[in-house]
Structure 1
Amino acid sequence: MKLHAESEAVAPTEVEMQIRGLMMDPVTNMPIVVLKDVASDLILPIWVGVFEANAIALELEKSTTPRPMTHDLLKNLAHGLNARVNKVVVSELRDDTFFALIWMEQGGEVIALDARPSDAIALALRWDCPIYVHRDVLNHARQSADSSPSVSTDELRQWLENLNDDDMGRYKM
């Protein structure tokens, strides 16, 4: 667990995103969370694990389970400790792996916890808090996609950008 004790204010380098959809990658058959800039048409696909996609899908669909799932337990634990998740930030892209921070406050102290973006997003949905992506991550992701020699990567990005609302809800648990 990595803790940061920095300011949690929204930095000008952070871009607020919303979940545009959750779907299956037609090439790899892996789940993708598609984030969209709230102020533009810029999108960021993040491939996630099946279990994390299910946790996100459950919350997007407002489905309840008979017992708390892991992310529900984490929310209940934080709430029981009088802590609050204020925002999550996809903070870094290194070696094709995204990294995130969960910004929390407890007892007047602000901390940032290192997390996988899928877990951070699942918690953000449960806390109804904003999701941000660092501008450098967006730029790096765009450069990686543009410089990729793979035709399927370019085709996938174009396919993602042209999806309609019906296509975005095609993830099945």
Structure 2
Amino acid sequence: MHLPGFKPEPETKAAEAEVEVRIRGLMMDPSTRQPIVVLNDLAGEIVLPIWVGLFEANAIALEIEKASTPRPMTHDLLRSAIHGLNARVTRVVVGSLREDTFHATIWMDQGGELVALDARPSDAIALALRSDCPIFISQQVFDHARRAADGATNLSPEDLRRWLESLNDDEMGRYKM
């Protein structure tokens, strides 16, 4: 299934140019007071900050902390709906950056058929955590973000990466919003 106007690359071709990431932490941007999800590749070489909304950051933090809520959250409902349709989320990919906005794809398997859904990265990440599936970024996203950072700051991408990696758990907020 593909949404109108949405053309994700086939999962097998796209996987060749992707890097698996984990959530390094959630923190608040000190200047905008907007939450940031900080992704880090498994080798610790790539750092990708993604600014998200407060509610989305809260949904991610709740799942990281395995906190329970009295009623299902939207991402819990989505996970249940996917399961009810005999599908499973296999991976999420932050695959493009267009006009300073990240775009993600949720990849699902429904009875052997691949299904791709267009999503905001924050929703895709929240669902990935609930579905216990891997999170990836495309090499194109990483390269594009690095070039954008070059023009937007005095820090080199390497300096920004080192700074983000040097933050201890207290400084990162250790998933607390």
TM-score (norm 2): 0.88
Superposed CA RMSD: 2.2
What 5-or-longer segments of structure 2 have no aligned partner? none
TM-score (norm 1): 0.89
% identical equivalent positions: 64
* 2:11 is the counterpart of 1:8: yes
- Moved beyond 3 Å, runs of 4+: 3-7, 150-154, 156-159, 170-173
Write the letter of the residue equivalent to 1:94: R
What 5-or-longer segments of structure 1 have no aligned partner? none
SS in 2 for 1:63: coil
**CA distance, structure 2, for counterparts of residue 146 and residue 5 of structure 1:** 27
Aligned to 1:38: 42
Distance 1:67 1:134, change over 3 A: same
- Number of positions where the alignment pairs a residue of Structure 1 with one of Structure 2: 171
Maintained 8 Å contact 1:87/1:132: yes
| Displacement after TM superposition at 1:68 (Å) | 0.3
Q: Aligned runs of 1:1-173 on 2, under 5 Å?
A: 2=3, 7-9=10-12, 11-148=15-152, 150-151=153-154, 157=160, 159-173=163-177
Maintained 8 Å contact 2:149/2:156: yes
SS in 2 for 1:140: helix
**CA distance, structure 2, for counterparts of residue 102 and residue 129 of structure 1:** 10
Maintained 8 Å contact 1:24/1:170: no
